[in-house]
Amino acid sequence: MKKRHTSLPPSLNALRVFEAASRNLSFTLAAEELNVTQSAVSRQIKQLEAHLGITLFIRQHRALTLTNEGKSLADLLTRQFSELNSHIDQLKHQDDNTLRLNVAMSLAVRWLIPRLHSFKEQQPDIDIVLSSIIGNTSDEVSLTSDEYDIAIYNYEDKPQGRFHSTFLRNELLAPVYSALIAPEAKQLTLEQALCFPLLHPTKDRSDWRNWLAQSGIRFSHQDNGLTFDTLDMALTSCMAGQGIAMTDLLLVVSELEKGFLQLPHPVTIIEGPWRYAYVCQNKNTITRTFITWLEEQVALEREQFEKLANNKGWQIQTASI
């Protein structure tokens, strides 16, 4: 009988150990995750490297770096282990009507939750468990977690390479303010608005810097505003009249239509560096139904915003929205 899979190591556990070590970039953290000793992890990695005849890690003082070969193998293993785990989970819960969502905090609070009732009206038998992703980069998203069917997250430049992510939409950035800070003014000019405290949705304050730079504006005032962990917190502060916030306008279309939030004049809307994408870990009828609904909602919101932008005469500095 012809032997198959002859390139695989004698113990597949070594691949599992390597995958954990590559994800954590730490033998110690991998050992904690797998409930083994650090020396056991180190031994398994050395045996795997010897069997494969390649170096997987560059070992530095108190640091690990993947070689190109190590990264290629790690990306493949993470995808394959996730798919295998998902398939086994599906087999165990074939009759389960629960949809587990893991969603970026601001998107969940400002956009998804207000719309979930329409999905429930269409699919009343599907139970939804929603958890939030707290953080501003995909590096902080635990996409390797087994506790979701679909994750919707935001990323800068490019999504995580280890997972098959589907692009959902761009963000459109512009400053907004609440009528509470100028109750007698019909509309603030941009110069007037920039005199109020700036509300920053990220700790590095990059959103405001990007918008000012792309809009060709030199900010000469002292930035004595507030900095938050999430866009949702910055918008809550803005709605309370505490300053002017830089925001993704597609999260506040309803507030803009109702006049709760306004854009100063004149103002340029730019396409920000952040994107939204989703990862589907369990592919079944329930997840396919939700993804269809999700993409329809994004398209409707985009159409609604286009109409509002045309009516208001807003300038959009992007090829498409």
- Is the pLDDT score of 181 beyond 60? yes
- Is the pLDDT score of 135 beyond 60? no
Per-residue confidence (pLDDT) for residue 136, from 0 to 100:
43
Mean pLDDT, the chain, as a whole number? 85
The whole-number average pLDDT for the span 29-39 is 89
More reliable by pLDDT, 87 or 261 = 261
- Is the pLDDT score of 74 beyond 80? yes
- Is the pLDDT score of 224 beyond 60? yes
CB atoms near residue 239 (< 10 Å) = 18
Q: How confident is the model at residue 134 (pLDDT cuts 50, 70, 90)?
A: low
Q: What is the DSSP string of 30-70?
A: HHHHHTS-HHHHHHHHHHHHHHHTS--EEEETTEEEE-HHH
The whole-number average pLDDT for the span 158-180 is 83
Q: What is the pTM of this model?
A: 0.69
Q: What's the token pair of residue 168?
A: 């959902």
Q: How confident is the model at residue 93 (pLDDT cuts 50, 70, 90)?
A: low
Lowest mean pLDDT among 109-118, 193-202, 293-302, 310-319: 310-319
Task: Yes or no: say if 159 and 277 are a contact pair by the CB < 8 Å rule.
Answer: yes
The whole-number average pLDDT for the span 21-36 is 89
Lowest mean pLDDT among 133-142, 167-176, 178-187, 271-280: 133-142
Do the bridges between strand 268-280 and strand 261-262 make them parallel or antiparallel, or are there none, so unpaired? unpaired
Lowest mean pLDDT among 113-127, 129-143, 188-202, 283-297: 129-143
Q: What percent of the chain has pLDDT over 90?
A: 38
For 231-251, the pLDDT digits (tens) are 999 999 999 999 999 999 999
Per-residue confidence (pLDDT) for residue 143, from 0 to 100:
60
Q: Rounded to the nearest 5°, which phi and psi values hold at 270?
A: -115, 160
The whole-number average pLDDT for the span 95-100 is 82
Q: Rounded to the nearest 5°, which phi and psi values hold at 255?
A: -65, -35
Per-residue confidence (pLDDT) for residue 91, from 0 to 100:
66
Per-residue confidence (pLDDT) for residue 82, from 0 to 100:
76
Per-residue confidence (pLDDT) for residue 290, from 0 to 100:
97
Q: How confident is the model at residue 162 (pLDDT cuts 50, 70, 90)?
A: low
CA distance 219 to 196: 12
If you count DSSP H runs as helices and E runs as strands, how many of each does the chain have, helices first? 11, 12
Residues 6+ apart with CB under 8 A from 189: 264, 265, 266
The whole-number average pLDDT for the span 49-65 is 87
Q: How confident is the model at residue 138 (pLDDT cuts 50, 70, 90)?
A: very low
Q: How confident is the model at residue 95 (pLDDT cuts 50, 70, 90)?
A: low
Tell me the one-letter amino acid at 276: Y
Provide the phi-psi class of 313: left if phi over 0, else alpha when psi is between -120 and 50, else beta: left
